[in-house]
Amino acid sequence: MRTDKTIAHIYFPYGCQAPAKICRIEYYEDSSQNFFYVFTPDYDVIDRLPPGVFHGIQGLNLRLRKRKYIRKNVLPTFITERAPIHTRENLQCLMAGMNMEKYIPLQWLKQTTSQYFGDEMFVAE
């Protein structure tokens, strides 16, 4: 049974065009307290991006062309580089500011306006 399911998308902005929705991310926990991140890249969109502007999604080897990349009980690199770590001293205060009762990094990324410094990709609905 799945609990705490969160769904979001990774967007890649480039040029004057609307950001491209390049990947779907799902987060859920099962009844045994395991958690999962499932990345589903949209290769049709990724393949249409101009050469040299898109350099991949951290932690995923897109050259494998997998339909889904699943991370069980591991925070994916893409998430850890963008969301606060669970041991952050002021995390409860940050969560209160976002009206979050339980810290789910993917949910955080959907709600935050903070921008990652390494690229312009962002997570949204």
CA dist list (Å): 85 to 10, 37, 48, 91, 107: 20, 16, 34, 8, 13
Nearest residue to 71 via CA among 39, 105, 41: 39
pLDDT (0 to 100) of residue 2 = 58
Question: pLDDT for 61-91, tens place per residue?
Answer: 999 999 999 999 999 999 999 888 777 787 7
Burial 87-108, CB ≥16 within 10 A → b, else e: eeeeeeebbeeeeeeebbbbbb
pLDDT (0 to 100) of residue 49 = 92
Which regions in the chain score pLDDT beneath 50? none
pLDDT (0 to 100) of residue 92 = 75
